[in-house]
């Protein structure tokens, strides 16, 4: 049955299919300590279902196995072509976040194309049907359920815990989505992979905000992915300059990993970059009203932060990288009826005017 399951997963486009025993996650105690220390920030939902996250039997009574699946989303390298306005920078080619580059903004690679939840959930449904026909009961998740998914992925040998807390696989690097199926079927577990990070600390050095406070220790409150996606209110002013030109997520710790040199480009076309990733400017985004935002980001993971969150991020990036040419658009945004956008636009206007008055001052 396991051999047939692996073949089914491969036919659906998964790069990996591994099995973990359905036991308490190895880092359950560390997860609870992390919550108690407040390092989850405003992600209260993590604490609300902490019991379920640390005991899979509360999620699916009688579960015996966890099917761990990985889907590659790496799009390969892209060099600037004639006529390009800008595109998300590949940090792996330059670990300095503020070095000279052609890109006016960065969007995390996983969000370049369609929303992975929609795509992977449909594939999980097909595997669920297949397992049910063989007598199993299942629960399926794509980072939407109460599971410490990287713990189970590491148990199953889908990678090892990098010092950034990201999972790393020797052939996929750090560029893959995880999904899990809890099942009552008793499948033979796979062996974990050894930790191959060695003495490397490039991911820690690359973090722009110092969110990786020590190997395997992340303070979400300083993480740019948290600040630009999970945080719903104002971004702390002392952290805004450190965001640089990042407007949705951050790839720096993942991109710094030397194991990425083995990554192969994904074959799933749904993850290919949309037009706005490579050809829009930050000013273009400021012109979006609610309807325009919904149309542009339809079926994109970016839609989850809504116009108010996205334009908040755009304003911060313009405050860090913009010029006098951006002031008219920002001044209009400073009058936006959404207070969150107006506040960050006013901050950006002040930042640009200060730079214009003192051109020799640092940009960030």
Residue by residue, pLDDT tens for the chain (364 residues) are 999 999 999 999 999 999 999 999 999 999 999 999 999 999 999 999 999 999 999 999 999 999 999 999 998 865 444 344 333 333 333 333 333 334 479 999 999 999 999 999 999 999 999 999 999 999 999 998 899 999 999 999 999 999 999 999 999 999 999 999 999 999 999 999 999 999 999 999 999 999 999 999 999 999 999 999 999 999 999 999 999 999 999 999 999 999 999 998 898 999 999 999 988 999 999 999 999 999 999 999 999 999 999 999 999 999 999 999 999 999 999 999 999 999 999 999 999 999 999 877 666 6
- With 0.75 as the threshold, say if the pTM is over it: yes
Measured distance between the N- and C-terminal CA atoms of the chain, rounded to whole angstroms: 56
Angle at 304 between CA 227 and CA 77, to 5 degrees: 75
| 3-state SS assignment for residue 131 | helix
Listed residue (75, 64, 68, 73) closest to 16, CA to CA: 68
| 3-state SS assignment for residue 89 | coil
Residues paired with residue 138 on neighbouring β-strands, in sequence order: 183
Q: What is the pLDDT of residue 75?
A: 85
Listed residue (245, 213, 212, 215) closest to 228, CA to CA: 245
Residue 192 CA to residue 158 CA, distance in Å, equals: 7
Which residues does the annotation mark as catalytic? 143
Are the beta carbons of 80 and 87 closer than 8 angstroms? Answer: yes
Are the beta carbons of 59 and 139 closer than 8 angstroms? Answer: yes
Structural domains of the chain, with CATH: 2-74+113-183 (no CATH), 281-356 (1.25.10)
Instruction: Say which residues have a Cβ less than 8 Å from residue 191's Cβ, sequence separation at least 6.
Output: 157
Query: In the structure encoding, which two tokens stand for residue 97, read together?
Result: 């976040």
Listed residue (286, 349, 360, 287) closest to 323, CA to CA: 349
């Amino acid at each position: 049955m396991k051999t047939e399951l692996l073949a089914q997963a491969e036919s659906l486009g998964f790069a990996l299919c591994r099995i973990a025993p359905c036991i308490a996650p190895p880092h359950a105690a560390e997860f609870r300590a992390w919550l108690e220390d407040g390092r989850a920030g405003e992600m209260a939902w993590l604490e609300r279902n902490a019991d379920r996250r640390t005991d899979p039997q509360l999620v699916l009574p009688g579960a015996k196995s966890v099917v761990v699946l990985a889907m590659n989303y790496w799009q390969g390298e892209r060099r600037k072509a004639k006529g390009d306005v800008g595109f998300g920078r590949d940090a792996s080619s330059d670990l300095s976040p503020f070095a000279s580059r052609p890109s006016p903004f960065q969007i995390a690679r996983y969000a370049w194309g369609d929303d992975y939840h929609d795509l992977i959930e449909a594939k999980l449904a097909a595997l669920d049907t297949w397992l049910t026909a063989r007598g199993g009961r299942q629960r399926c998740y794509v980072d939407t359920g109460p599971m410490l998914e990287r713990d189970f992925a590491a148990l199953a040998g889908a990678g090892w815990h990098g010092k950034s807390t990201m999972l790393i696989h020797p052939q996929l690097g750090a560029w893959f989505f995880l999904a899990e199926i809890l099942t009552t079927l008793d499948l033979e577990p796979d062996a974990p992979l050894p930790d191959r990070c060695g003495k490397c600390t490039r991911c820690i050095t690359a973090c722009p905000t110092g969110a990786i406070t020590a190997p395997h220790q992340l303070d979400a409150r300083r993480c740019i992915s948290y600040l630009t996606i999970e945080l719903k209110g104002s971004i702390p002013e002392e952290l805004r300059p450190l965001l640089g030109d990042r407007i949705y997520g951050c790839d720096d710790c993942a991109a710094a990993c030397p194991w990425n040199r083995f990554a192969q480009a994904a074959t799933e076309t749904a993850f290919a970059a949309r037009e706005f990733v490579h050809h829009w400017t930050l000013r273009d985004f400021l012109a979006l009203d609610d309807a325009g935002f919904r149309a542009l980001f339809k079926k994109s993971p970016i839609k989850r932060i809504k116009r108010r969150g996205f334009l908040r991020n755009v304003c911060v990036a313009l405050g860090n990288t913009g010029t006098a040419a951006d002031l008219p658009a920002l001044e209009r945004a400073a009058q936006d009826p959404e207070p969150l956008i107006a506040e960050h636009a006013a901050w950006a206007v002040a930042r640009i005017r200060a730079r214009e008055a003192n051109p020799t001052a640092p940009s960030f």
